[in-house]
Structure 1
Amino acid sequence: METYKKITIPLEGVHSEHCAFIIDNILDKTEGIIHHKVELNNNQAKIEVDSKFNLKQLTENIRNLGYDITTIKKNYPVTGMTCASCAISVESILTFEEGVLLATVNYANSTATVEYIPGIANPENFKKAIQSIGYDLIIEESENLEEELSKQQAKHLTELKRKTFASALFTLPVFIIGMFFMDMPYANWIMWIFSTPVLFWFGRSFFINAWKQTKHRNANMDTLVALSTGIAYIFSVFNTLFPEFWHRYRLHAHVYFEAATVVITFILLGKLLEERAKGNTASAIKKLIGLQPKTVIRITENGQQEDIKISEVLVDNILLAKPGEKIAVDGKVVIGTSFVDESMISGEPIPVAKNINDKVFAGTINQKGSFQYKAEKIGSDTLLSQIIKMVQNAQGSKAPVQKMVDKIAGIFVPIVIGISIVTLIAWIILGGENGFTHGLLAMVTVLVIACPCALGLATPTAIMVGVGKGAEKGILIKDAESLELAKKIDTIIFDKTGTLTEGNPSVIDVLWKEENDHLLSVLVSIEEKSEHPLADAITKHYSEMSFKNISEFESLTGFGVKAKIENEFYYVGNRRLLEENNVTIDESLNEFSKNNSDLGFSLVYFSDSKNTLAVFAIADKIKNTSIEAIKHLEELGIEVYMLTGDNESTAAAVAKSVGLNYYKANVLPEDKLNYVKKLQDEGKIVAMVGDGINDSAALAQANVSIAMGKGSDIAMDVAHMTIISSDLLKVPQTIKLSKQTVQTIKQNLFWAFIYNLIGIPIAAGLLYPINGFLLNPMIAGAAMAMSSVSVVSNSLWLKFKN
């Protein structure tokens, strides 16, 4: 009899009866749902389902109609994995856990990323499921989790060193006797005594893990090692105890204790080297985490200073930054000034001046001055914490090419076991009087040499190094897919304001009829009182001038301002303001106005009651790096476009200034989205670079989207990548990094595949009929270890490429 289950699904975006009706309609059409009810007040759906129900399909259907199911997405450290097949096993178990929508496991950094529906799935069940196949999942929350994991990794590395050293110590006499003193008295018995602890104590984890995998009908690298060394050991023990079995057939009772022990030792050595190398691939994360200070000085209400842990800081606390100290949390300067090294965020080496009301960020380093700042964002809300989380997620994500590699790794071990059995049978049939012993040796060698570790490490290690290198340069990459795709970009669209330009109006040019300090002070005094956006540009341009007393001040909407200083009236505003008050405009100033108007600049006039004194050309200043960045992109063969909501003349002027041939003015957010679609329909791989809310739709549509770090939060949430410093030279650097990373992945995969394609046939004895060569399992073990190390080393080389 069919049993039914009751499930509660938390919903998002269901705010009205109409929304509830749509969700009801979806539930009606979903196979396996027997009964359902949408509760609008609780924003949830209660359903009763049978065995045909597919939660992932329901989630996809709801999301396709613009609604969502509340999910939690978290990274969990995984312990006990030894190869790519282990990662496949863990991923498979997690994927089939009830309530899990997505699970990916990264062997290189030993993490599982799980997206699940709370209430249906829970981390405790994930942990039990993973433990049942011989691994473990760390789900406990801790402020010092990274520190604890580092300690665990250090402990594991120490244990691995101890095992490797002890295994080598016991293996040495076995190797010497087996290779040079086979005929000495009791040689086999001595080798048996020394080899037993190597296999079943120092190498016991291979057999334990292999047995756990077998119970769940899985196989991994441990299976290969356990089978190869176990068979060699059992065969050698049999020949030691019953040599006469072979003697009656006039055959020598060969033993392979040295092969079994050397293989275990070499594999342990390979794992030791691999663990060290893998640790280096995560150096970017370690550096970022190292930027977080452990303690901070808090200023109490009575003005006293107290040392507290970073975890004790509360929002609105006043904190002290001394010279040379790291800023503890994100905040705003309230007392004092200084220069702060923000290179960890922006990638720019020049310290940034900090005055009252300027923002400071956790992890940045205060230089010579000291100041007090108010805590605004603490804990996981700080920019540094968000960067660390983003880098961790990106390093744990999978590039598209990895999906193909995972499929291969998943079937690789069973295929290798099959090849090893066929090898043994072929040798027994075709190998003559030594066919069985040669076949056994070849079988063991095939099992040893075919470790899939190199295959499993090829992609994730390159992605980890690539993402980490990007983070160090101030380029935050959200996922591996966008990093892989960036190299294919052939079209880039730039927003104008805040992307190609600074995003703030500034004085581009000025012409004075007669400039002096008195007139400058008059102008700055008037503009300081003005509320017009262009007034800020002028006050910033002359920020060090003293102020005059204004006896009368009048704001004239649509024209500008009028002020009286020292019995003289002055005007600051547009041309119509001067014309309305019969103010004369000098010919040279007139010519200056015309030229700058043609360039699309805004004009501000300054006059007394009779004559124009100065004209200011104001515009959103083009970033210093825009022209060079566009030049680099065009040299890469990429078409560059600019889309802006500004008018035609301003757009044309900016396009001309930065050297762009393609631009479009008066563009609405929807037009930007449609323009991206149009280019994609033409078969182009489009990147969108923007900073504002109005860019978010186009950013979401683009193949690769890049947000400016100084832009809106929405743009950064939507984008695949974020350039923290907003320096456009980082865009071509990102494409270059993508090319280098993908090239490294291809190199790694080539060596991983070619190693097995060449190694397995030779191990099986392909060369024996030609030149009598049969590969020794000891050499196979060493080669297997070095294949993994070479792949990780090649990934690490990416760090040092320009």
Structure 2
Amino acid sequence: METVNWKVEGMSCTNCALSIHKYLEAKGLDNVKVNFIGGDVSFNLSNTLTKEELEKGIDNLGYHVVNGTPGNKAPKRVFKNHLQRFLFCIIFTAPMLAGMIPGIHIHALMNPYVQLGLTMPVFLVGMDFFGRSAINSLLKGIPNMNVLIALGALSALVYSLYGTLIGQAEEYMFYETTAAIITLVFLGNYLEDKSVETTQAALKKLTISQKITANMIAYDEDHNEHIFPVDSNSLKVGDLILIKSGEYVPMDAKVLWGEANVNESILTGESLSVEKKMNDKLIGGSIIESGTIKAYVTAVGEETVLSSILKLVKEAQTEKPPIQQMADKISAIFVPVVVGIALLTLLANYFFTDIGFGASLLRSIAVLVISCPCAMGLATPAAIAVGLGRAARNGVLFKNARSLEVFKNIKQVVFDKTGTLTTGAFAIAGFNTTIDEEEFKRIAFSLEKYSTHPIAKCIARTWKTKSDIRWAAIQEVKGQGMQATDKEGNTYAAGSYTIAAQFTADDTHNIYILRNNQLIGWMDVADDIRPEAKQVVQQLHAMGIKTVLLSGDRKAKCDTVAQQLGIDEVIAEQSPEQKLQTIAAYNAITPTAMIGDGINDAPALAKATVGISLSDASQIAMQSAQVVLMSHGIKNLPLSLGLGKHTYITIRQNLFWAFIYNIIAIPIAALGFLNPTFGALAMGLSDVVLAINSLRLTWKKVV
């Protein structure tokens, strides 16, 4: 089943997203996700439908798929955006608004036919956008905000036109109301779009704005090297490229020759460059600050690290945390309720006051145009967009929006030791064996080169040999280590003291090697505590968070690390199953975050309230975690916790504003304390307030 990812333009509120979501689900499609802020739409395409059919259906709703099939072109419009519509409309609206200013009296503007002539161009442009959108939303059963705008503008025009035709124009003259509503809502929509666009700015920095040209290397029949420029999008896996100082790395690659200092801040948030040499990996989008290297491409397009991250961030944006679900339910019925209130306002004012039908109509129109369902729909996505953007810019990757929300409740953080609190940059400190040393090293390398554990990587790197053993079978057992069988049937094992307990009482070493169930030697390795670890623990304590060290390592070593860092509690010598049970027990007491990087941490990471992994962790650990720290360390752990908490606070503030605005504004309009013109302006600015409040997350202190 194909997963389709589209960019759809024309969505302006939650109801727009609900319209597309409802349409696609009605077609029987699964895993439908729609993000109106970014315009991202994704779903699983069934075999019974074609993309062309679905694109046409979305076009009929009043939206357009930008990156769909080549033949599906956007309908031509005279005006491309709200700013152009506003600038056109203000030309005709300004003279009528000027006539309303005390002391300014333009006799010609008192003529109803002059006002009608000025209003009609504005009305036609307004109905082309608001009217078209309103009709499409009504036909699909999800009325949007534009229904309110279209109704308000149409009511004022029809009432004014009726007065003009019966010769009593001065008593029915609300043409300027029609023009002002449309013009000011266009202005409000433009300001809203710019504000919402700003909330996406941090995410856009993850993409490379310029078109990159790569230096491709090719060889002729005489093996002479030729270098020629190509579009980076045309590169394929295996292509050879030359990257010079100051140039972007066009795609993910691996260094074949040369050395360079590389700025990977686009991914990690770290401003300091990283030294790269032969066999090191390069991330597409990073910059060569100094040096020249030759490399071969390892991933292109959506398979690159950066593209995968952007995809995860976009998916996280489309998810709705629980706090938004109530707002969505209210948004779905908001427009019909407001229309009912507007009608009730008209009837109540007309029959129970002496202000007359015209003033009663103005009050009902004010109710229509001041109401803002968009605010409720925008409250969560705007905050999440800024929160995810700031996180990504600082090397913190949230895989889903739920993680942002649940961080608010985290009361304790559980750390793995090796590779998490320590650097994982091990060195062999000593070893002892009962067999030939070279044979012992060969056995150790042959076993450990298949493991992803940091200690195993150290042994494999230090004792690398070309004469390694070819195994008939080999596997990594969680919590124990490597087990293998050679072609002659001999069995081997490399692991912690657990596998050697029956052969020796000395439990002070890191790795024990067995052959045919006999202990043939052990190894010790040295590991340094991460330089940022102590500060991170202190920051967590300052935030009122308890810290726990949970490790499979020996208790004496864990106690030493915990004492150096000031960690509150130590639980050592734990198998993966025991780690899982411990995390489950902690979760039952209070929400718990777990941070780890090994294959043995994966079950616990998945069980924790929030699982956090490092970027250089094993793949299974990264897949089990909901949050990944990309900056090669735990420095940004407090930031991720603080950002999650403050994003949730911002969402609550936004929703409070959205509800309180409508609760206060609608009665004020119904009681006649607000002119429809100012109501239209207030409606547009209400969304801007939410966007500005969300943008505070960009610089707000969260730790």
- What TM-score does the superposition give when structure 1 sets the normalisation length? 0.73
Greater shift, 255-264 or 89-98, is seen at 89-98
2:569 equivalent to 1:662: yes
Match of 2:490 in 1: none
Q: How does 1:397-408 map to 2 (within 5 A)?
A: 397-408=319-330
The CA distance in 2 between the partners of 1:535 and 1:423, in whole Å, is 75
Alpha carbons of structure 1 residues 120 and 671: separation in structure 2 relative to 1, 3 Å: farther
Tell me how far 1:171 sits from its aligned partner: 0.4
2:693 equivalent to 1:787: no
2:96 equivalent to 1:174: yes
Tell me how far 1:134 sits from its aligned partner: 2.4
Task: Give the one of 168, 171, 177 matched to 1:253.
Answer: 171
Contact 2:96 2:109 in 1 (8 A): no
Match of 1:418 in 2: 340
The CA distance in 2 between the partners of 1:620 and 1:105, in whole Å, is 47
2:373 equivalent to 1:467: no
For residues 209-257 of structure 1, the C-alpha deviation after alignment (integer angstroms, 9 at most, x for no partner) is: 222223334311111011001000000011111135x9xxxxx623111
Alpha carbons of structure 1 residues 744 and 641: separation in structure 2 relative to 1, 3 Å: same
Greater shift, 450-459 or 255-264, is seen at 450-459
Contact 2:160 2:175 in 1 (8 A): yes
2:598 equivalent to 1:680: no
The CA distance in 1 between the partners of 2:443 and 2:587, in whole Å, is 46
2:30 equivalent to 1:101: yes
Match of 2:128 in 1: 204
Tell me how far 1:716 sits from its aligned partner: 1.4
Cα RMSD between the aligned structures?
A: 3.2
Q: How does 1:576-595 map to 2 (within 5 A)?
A: none
Greater shift, 130-139 or 271-280, is seen at 130-139
Alpha carbons of structure 1 residues 281 and 685: separation in structure 2 relative to 1, 3 Å: same
Which runs of no fewer than 5 residues in structure 2 stay unpaired?
A: 431-437, 449-454, 463-505, 513-522
2:655 equivalent to 1:731: no
The CA distance in 2 between the partners of 1:482 and 1:535, in whole Å, is 32
Tell me how far 1:259 sits from its aligned partner: 1.1
The CA distance in 1 between the partners of 2:149 and 2:183, in whole Å, is 11
The CA distance in 1 between the partners of 2:93 and 2:184, in whole Å, is 10
Tell me how far 1:370 sits from its aligned partner: 0.7
State how many pairs are aligned.
625
Tell me how far 1:313 sits from its aligned partner: 1.8
Larger RCO (alpha carbons 8 Å, 6+ apart) = 2
Alpha carbons of structure 1 residues 537 and 446: separation in structure 2 relative to 1, 3 Å: closer
The CA distance in 2 between the partners of 1:118 and 1:714, in whole Å, is 29
2:703 equivalent to 1:800: no
Tell me how far 1:787 sits from its aligned partner: 0.7
The CA distance in 2 between the partners of 1:753 and 1:137, in whole Å, is 32
Alpha carbons of structure 1 residues 661 and 216: separation in structure 2 relative to 1, 3 Å: closer
Alpha carbons of structure 1 residues 537 and 785: separation in structure 2 relative to 1, 3 Å: closer
The CA distance in 2 between the partners of 1:701 and 1:435, in whole Å, is 66
Q: How does 1:283-302 map to 2 (within 5 A)?
A: 283-290=201-208, 294-301=212-219, 302=224
Q: How does 1:632-781 map to 2 (within 5 A)?
A: 632-682=539-589, 684-765=590-671, 774-781=673-680
Tell me how far 1:658 sits from its aligned partner: 2.4
Alpha carbons of structure 1 residues 312 and 102: separation in structure 2 relative to 1, 3 Å: closer
Contact 1:178 1:258 in 2 (8 A): no
Alpha carbons of structure 1 residues 421 and 213: separation in structure 2 relative to 1, 3 Å: same
- The secondary structure found in structure 1 opposite 2:37 is coil
Greater shift, 708-717 or 123-132, is seen at 123-132
Alpha carbons of structure 1 residues 645 and 539: separation in structure 2 relative to 1, 3 Å: closer
For residues 368-426 of structure 1, the C-alpha deviation after alignment (integer angstroms, 9 at most, x for no partner) is: 21111122222222211112212222223222212111111111101000000000110
- The secondary structure found in structure 1 opposite 2:205 is helix
Task: Give the one of 113, 127, 135 matched to 1:189.
Answer: 113
Q: Match for 1:738: what amino acid?
A: G
Contact 2:257 2:278 in 1 (8 A): yes
Tell me how far 1:312 sits from its aligned partner: 2.4
For residues 485-525 of structure 1, the C-alpha deviation after alignment (integer angstroms, 9 at most, x for no partner) is: 1121112221222111122323789xxxxxxxxxxxxxxx9
For residues 115-164 of structure 1, the C-alpha deviation after alignment (integer angstroms, 9 at most, x for no partner) is: x363255544432333333223345279xxxxx99xx99x9995422211
- The secondary structure found in structure 1 opposite 2:673 is coil
Task: Give the one of 98, 113, 131 matched to 2:42.
Answer: 113
Match of 2:244 in 1: 322
**Which has the greater radius of gyration?**
1
Q: Match for 1:196: what amino acid?
A: M
For residues 315-364 of structure 1, the C-alpha deviation after alignment (integer angstroms, 9 at most, x for no partner) is: 22221110111112222211111211122222222211112222221111
Match of 1:38 in 2: none
Task: Give the one of 414, 419, 423 matched to 1:493.
Answer: 414
Match of 1:135 in 2: 63
Tell me how far 1:430 sits from its aligned partner: 0.7
Greater shift, 634-643 or 527-536, is seen at 527-536
The CA distance in 2 between the partners of 1:351 and 1:195, in whole Å, is 60
Tell me how far 1:659 sits from its aligned partner: 2.0
Contact 1:127 1:138 in 2 (8 A): no
The CA distance in 2 between the partners of 1:601 and 1:293, in whole Å, is 54
Q: Match for 2:412: what amino acid?
A: T
Tell me how far 1:305 sits from its aligned partner: 0.7
Match of 1:336 in 2: 258
The CA distance in 2 between the partners of 1:156 and 1:790, in whole Å, is 30
Identity %: 34
The CA distance in 2 between the partners of 1:351 and 1:216, in whole Å, is 53
Tell me how far 1:481 sits from its aligned partner: 0.9
For residues 82-108 of structure 1, the C-alpha deviation after alignment (integer angstroms, 9 at most, x for no partner) is: 33222222222222221x233232222
2:5 equivalent to 1:86: no
The CA distance in 2 between the partners of 1:797 and 1:354, in whole Å, is 37
Q: Match for 2:35: what amino acid?
A: N
Alpha carbons of structure 1 residues 292 and 629: separation in structure 2 relative to 1, 3 Å: farther
Alpha carbons of structure 1 residues 527 and 336: separation in structure 2 relative to 1, 3 Å: farther
Q: Match for 2:180: what amino acid?
A: V
Q: How does 1:618-629 map to 2 (within 5 A)?
A: 618-629=525-536
Contact 1:710 1:725 in 2 (8 A): no
The CA distance in 2 between the partners of 1:465 and 1:687, in whole Å, is 23
Match of 1:219 in 2: 143
Contact 1:236 1:255 in 2 (8 A): yes
The CA distance in 1 between the partners of 2:277 and 2:129, in whole Å, is 59
2:198 equivalent to 1:280: yes
Alpha carbons of structure 1 residues 217 and 799: separation in structure 2 relative to 1, 3 Å: same
Match of 1:480 in 2: 401
Contact 2:384 2:401 in 1 (8 A): yes
The CA distance in 1 between the partners of 2:14 and 2:597, in whole Å, is 39
